[in-house]
Amino acid sequence: MIKGETHGTASNDPRGGLKDCGDAPLARGLPIFPALRAKPAVKLRILVKSWGSSVANHASPAANAETAGDEPTRRDFIYVATGAMGAVGVAAVAWPFIDQMSPAADTLALSATEYDLAQVPEGQQVVIFWRGKPVFIRHRTPAEIAAAKKDDAASMRDPQTDADRVIQANGQPGKAEYLVVEASCTHFGCVPTFGGGSFGGWLCACHGSVYDTAARIRSGPAPQNLIVPPYTYTSGTVVKIG
Ligand code: FES
């Protein structure tokens, strides 16, 4: 008997026309799947890749033929559809957690602070809080401003002119007499005190950083000038920080 003669033949043989050939032992073990006897390539795919889903698809030879031609496309579609459904499910579950991280309206309102600089006498400073951080607002004297401008061209670790130090967040020039800076040393965050050091400005006693009257770092370990928060003037003397 020549192998392959019996593939796909109809006969009265209760074994579906199967003879002793290379495929017969495998097919004999699965008598309920006539398609497995008819198409060896499909049979192998069914056995190796998709045992469970193949049961329904191989109820008839016609269905099997259709499956043999279309199966990859359908499977791809199922994969894509399953992936898309999974992504939608993850997004639906994750959204409440993401959404709760958005700041509430009252929190956003607190993110900006307004202050009337007219409350600060010349030569004095106040500490206000913006987003929980202390901020110095200093009403500088003409002598402090002059000292800062005189050193604009000096060698500095974090070079900035005095005009740079009072510029508004919108890029417009500020007022030289009012210096607004965060009250945290840029070394490790201590609060400097005014009047110490050799530059007439602030001294951070924690490790000896010295800032001048424009709050620029002049000596000590701090790497940067005191930070100027974003602010704009909303009227003649009222600033909005943040
Ligand atoms: S924290 Fe200011 S010098 Fe270290």
Alpha-carbon distance of 19 to 37, in angstroms, equals: 11
In this structure, the answer to whether residues 85 and 134 fall within a common structural domain is no
* CATH number of residue 155's parent domain: 2.102.10.10
In this structure, the answer to whether residues 229 and 117 fall within a common structural domain is yes
Alpha-carbon distance of 146 to 55, in angstroms, equals: 91
In this structure, the answer to whether residues 37 and 145 fall within a common structural domain is no
Q: What is the pLDDT of residue 240?
A: 96
Q: What is the pLDDT of residue 86?
A: 72
What percent of the chain clears pLDDT 70, i.e. is strictly above it? 60
Q: What is the pLDDT of residue 71?
A: 58
Q: What is the pLDDT of residue 34?
A: 46
Cα 197 to middle of ligand 1, angstroms: 13
Alpha-carbon distance of 239 to 242, in angstroms, equals: 10
In this structure, the answer to whether residues 155 and 185 fall within a common structural domain is yes
Is residue 132 domain-resident? yes
In this structure, the answer to whether residues 122 and 232 fall within a common structural domain is yes
Cα 224 to middle of ligand 1, angstroms: 11
In this structure, the answer to whether residues 41 and 138 fall within a common structural domain is no
Q: What is the pLDDT of residue 163?
A: 97
Q: What is the pLDDT of residue 193?
A: 96
Is residue 57 domain-resident? yes
Structural domain range at position 55: 24-99
Query: Whose alpha carbon is nearest atom 1 of ligand 1?
Result: 188
Q: What is the pLDDT of residue 238?
A: 96
- For 3, the 3-state DSSP assignment is coil
In this structure, the answer to whether residues 124 and 212 fall within a common structural domain is yes
**In DSSP terms, which residues pair with 200 in a beta bridge?**
212
Is residue 3 domain-resident? no
In this structure, the answer to whether residues 113 and 75 fall within a common structural domain is no
Among 71, 99, 127, identify where a domain stops. 99
Is residue 2 domain-resident? no
pTM: 0.58
Q: What is the pLDDT of residue 96?
A: 60
Q: What is the pLDDT of residue 84?
A: 73
Among 64, 99, 134, identify where a domain stops. 99
In this structure, the answer to whether residues 143 and 223 fall within a common structural domain is yes
In this structure, the answer to whether residues 146 and 188 fall within a common structural domain is yes
Q: What is the pLDDT of residue 22?
A: 41
Q: Is 207 an active-site residue?
A: yes
Q: Please tell me if the CB atom of residue 117 comes closer than 6 angstroms to any atom of ligand 1.
A: no
Cα 191 to middle of ligand 1, angstroms: 8
Is residue 19 domain-resident? no
Low-confidence ranges of the chain (pLDDT < 70): 1-72, 77, 80, 88-110
Is residue 4 domain-resident? no
Q: What is the pLDDT of residues 157-196, one digit of tens each?
A: 999 999 999 999 999 999 999 999 999 999 999 999 999 8
Q: What is the pLDDT of residue 111?
A: 84
Q: Please tell me if the CB atom of residue 187 comes closer than 6 angstroms to any atom of ligand 1.
A: yes
Q: What is the pLDDT of residues 31-61, one digit of tens each?
A: 444 444 445 554 445 444 544 444 444 444 5
Is residue 6 domain-resident? no
Q: What is the pLDDT of residue 35?
A: 44
217-220 contacts: CB < 8 A, separation 24 or more?
A: 217/156, 217/157, 217/158, 217/186, 218/156, 218/157, 220/187
Q: Please tell me if the CB atom of residue 220 comes closer than 6 angstroms to any atom of ligand 1.
A: yes
**How many distinct structural domains can be found in the chain?**
2
In this structure, the answer to whether residues 233 and 142 fall within a common structural domain is yes
Q: What is the pLDDT of residue 74?
A: 72
